[in-house]
Amino acid sequence: MHIQELILRLQRFWADRGCLIGQPYDLEKGAGTMNPLTFFGALGSKPWNVAYVEPSRRPADGRYGENPFRVYKHLQFQVILKPSPAKVQDLYIESLEALGIDLSKHDLRFEEDNWESPTLGAWGVGWQVVLDGMEISQFTYFQQVGGLDCRPVSAELTYGIERICMFLGGYDNIFDLVHGEVKTDDGVFPVTYGQMRQREEFELSAYSFEHADIDLHRTLFDAFEKEGWRLLKDHGHFLSAYEQALKMSHTFNVLDARGAVSTTERPGIIKRVRDLSCACARAYLEHQEGAAVPVEAAGKGGAK
């Protein structure tokens, strides 16, 4: 199946089941969870169903476009269902069937895999969903986001788009995947993932591992942090402040891939991002719910 067909089917499926179809957020980020549609959407008491594609950057996973399985940037399809429905597993299984996976012929398992995002002050419990031995999705019941208990609890479903396409098509190389077809007066031209992305993988890997200016990134990290706190403290602006936290997070990932972060330094840096994103979460909730956030809720549970 073409990548775009898979995305379209997932969007149709979840739209038909009462989800808003959102859009990727136009800042670099490591996972779809960081999109404000999820980060803020999972907070507070109001019902919230949303689904969207999120390009996710992991600088340390870059392999110069040479590894058939690992890439700097991949696509996640993210679904948030708040509160988590009683039949959420069944819904997820139906979505796989909507992709043409005939589960009467496959082996589907939910294996324990708990999720944690130290930079977002978020954690949840759930599974990796394994189809015929292959991990195709992450399934999480959010327990905390931004250091705050989730009430009600959201279910987060994250589909690895390229992986599922590779698996369904039996591809041994991610770059051989077909994104879609371009039809012109002269004929039909399939466009591969490699044609669209391989050069990008090469350049971005080279940037993360070799060319990124370490001093600049250290400076940027400090500046984004300062900017974020200024926006939050002086203006009470949690959305623009949160963008600064996202930028800090990506800047940290680049520094990490460049090998510029020592193991002793790492927890401190992560905490600086978390402090800002958690403060944004509290400000959002105070604004949204018009009520003070209960103090005991902050930092409770297993968030790191």
Provide the binding-site residues for another protein, judged by CB under 8 A: 68-69, 83-86, 89, 93, 103-112, 114, 124-125, 127, 131-134, 141, 143, 150-153, 155, 167, 170, 172, 302
**Separation between Cα atoms, residue 3 and residue 125, nearest integer Å:** 29
Judged by beta carbon, residue 181 or residue 265, the one nearer another protein is 265
Closest by alpha carbon to 266, among 123, 62, 60, 61? 60
CB of residue 81 to another protein, shortest distance in Å: 10
Give 3 or 150: the residue with its C-beta nearer to another protein.
Answer: 150
Q: Which residues contact 294 (CB under 8 A, 6 or more apart)?
A: none
**For another protein, the closer CB: 107 or 181:** 107
For the record, the structure tokens of 304 come out as 């790191």
Nearest Cα neighbor of 246 from 269, 261, 224 is 224
CB of 15 to another protein, least distance (A): 22
Residue whose token pair is 């179809």: 21
- Residue for token digits 């890997």? 205
Min CB(201)–another protein separation in Å: 17
Between 172 and 234, CB nearer to another protein: 172
- Residues composing the chain: 304
CA distances from 136 to 27, 58, 93, 212, 296 (A): 25, 18, 12, 32, 37
Rounded Cα distance between 49 and 224, Å, is: 31
Tell me the closest approach of the beta carbon of residue 90 to another protein, in angstroms: 9
- Could you tell me the smallest distance in angstroms from the CB atom of residue 183 to another protein? 31
CB of 7 to another protein, least distance (A): 22
Contact of 281 with 40, CB cutoff 8 Å: yes
Helix (H, G, I), strand (E, B) or coil at 112: strand
Q: Provide the terminal-to-terminal Cα distance of the chain, rounded to the nearest Å.
A: 39
Closer CB to another protein, 120 or 174, in the complex: 174
Closest to another protein by CB, 230 or 266 = 266
Residue 126 CB, shortest distance to another protein, in Å, is 8
Q: What is the Cα–Cα distance from 124 to 141, expressed in whole angstroms? A: 5
Residue closer to another protein, measured from CB, 163 or 250: 163
- CA distances 126 to 16, 110, 135, 299, Å, are 25, 8, 13, 20
